[in-house]
Amino acid sequence: MKYNELQIDSHKDRKRVGRGISAGGGKTAGRGTKGQNARTGKKLRSMFQGGQNGIARAVPKGRGFKSLRTPAQVVYLDRLNGLKGTADNFALYEAGLIATPFHTVKVISRGELTDKVTLKTQGASKAVIAAIEKAGGSFQKTPTPLPASAKQAEADDKKK
């Protein structure tokens, strides 16, 4: 028999045990004989090893802290040179500077700004604000935009 001649079904039915002798999984139903694991209502922890501290003590406890807050998307000051007028989350997204317009954006100083830009984002460093004002622009702190819900978009379409 060759590997490509194997008859394999990807959706194999689970074995139904405890349905009598003739069904093939009767009597002890694959649990063996006697013992804690053979009983009904077996409630053991996943790491339980009969009272000995095996794997549970061998594996170190997870240390530290993992924040669930998504970090701000970073845009560098010199990348704003190509943008004219107002630069908000959507303008930065269309320019390909951020991955999504619906997350916090912070502009960080790097290089020089030559164009006059009105920046409307969630954050900017002090050096960036100084550079924007020096170039003749302004910075305005705005809240993170929320995506419109499907119901809201549907209601807006009906109004038109």
CATH of the domain at 78: 3.100.10.10
DSSP string, 85-154: EEEEHHHHHHTTSSS-TTS-EEEE--S---S-EEEEESEE-HHHHHHHHHTT-EEEE-PPPPPPPHHHHH
Q: E strand or H helix at 73, and its extent?
A: strand 73-76
Query: The tokens of 156 are what?
Result: 């807006």
pLDDT, block means (10 residues), the chain with 160 residues? 88 88 88 85 77 79 88 94 89 94 94 91 95 93 87 73
Tally Cβ neighbours within 10 Å of residue 121. Answer: 24
86 in a domain, yes or no? Answer: yes
> What is the tally of structural domains in the chain?
1
Question: Rounded to whole angstroms, what are the CA distances from 114 to 88, 111, 122, 139?
Answer: 18, 10, 22, 15
The pLDDT value recorded for residue 101 is: 94
157 in a domain, yes or no? Answer: no
78 in a domain, yes or no? Answer: yes
Q: Round to whole Å and give the CA distance between 115 and 129.
A: 14
The pLDDT value recorded for residue 129 is: 94
55 in a domain, yes or no? Answer: no
Tally Cβ neighbours within 10 Å of residue 110. Answer: 14
The pLDDT value recorded for residue 151 is: 72
36 in a domain, yes or no? Answer: no
89 in a domain, yes or no? Answer: yes
The pLDDT value recorded for residue 3 is: 92
Structural domain boundaries, residue 115: 73-141
Query: The tokens of 108 are what?
Result: 């960080």
